[in-house]
Structure 1
């Protein structure tokens, strides 16, 4: 019998879900070229290579997309957007609520940060490969 393979899809609409996605993405690798903000669609996309921690103990790498919806603004710190090959390692994802707005922070190594202004928490983590 062959091992069942599946593509993970995690949807977060609250802090608990966001922390689950953060845990799955901790240590994920990417670079500046794999980060896109589609302003007219209010969508922020982050393409990452992560270790599939949810299958337990295996060091299986998987390509995933982390999609943030309802994003109205994006700010970055310590990220050279002209250097498309700048390597980044995602440490965690946090959020703050200010009035009716959320600020979702993607915290990377080397003190790099991307801050997303959003009206709701709606984040999807989808695997692209097994």
Structure 2
């Protein structure tokens, strides 16, 4: 089993990262903004959709995701001061604003969001090696 290492430099690349982190579980305490470094980072237990093909459950993998050139961070729909809070990451999207600058939105189940104002899109996703059997395969009700 190979560890995933991906970089996103445009909206299409971010769509690929989004597919790999769909249904990742993130503790609020494992997200943070390093203002001096202009980096927003989070640790997650991502659901490995590749190993789930043809299986009932699949695997979860520990992974890190970070965004560079971050100028601002705005959270909504959850308490960022709640260290025990747990969020289910649904999607990553990029909304261009001016040239390469824009807003990266992390959308969570239940309506929570993190919006990152960035000079340009630069994101990295990397598995950290740990993997274990998932307790269930994520499923969503479609309207």
Normalising to structure 1: TM-score of the pair? 0.91
Whole-angstrom CA distance in 2 between matches of 1:37 and 1:99: 23
Say whether 1:105 aligns with 2:80. no
Answer yes or no: is the 8 Å Cα contact 2:52–2:59 preserved in 1.
Answer: no
> How many pairs align?
126
Runs of 4+ in 1 over 4 A off after TM superposition: none
How far off is 1:55 after superposition?
Answer: 4.2
Matches within 5 A, 1:1-130: 5-55=1-51, 57=53, 59-100=58-99, 101-130=101-130
How far off is 1:99 after superposition?
Answer: 1.5
Whole-angstrom CA distance in 2 between matches of 1:51 and 1:13: 23
How far off is 1:54 after superposition?
Answer: 3.2
How far off is 1:45 after superposition?
Answer: 0.3
Question: Structure 1: any 5+ residue segments left out of the alignment?
Answer: none
How far off is 1:69 after superposition?
Answer: 0.7
Q: Secondary structure at the match of 2:110?
A: coil
Answer yes or no: is the 8 Å Cα contact 2:75–2:113 preserved in 1.
Answer: yes
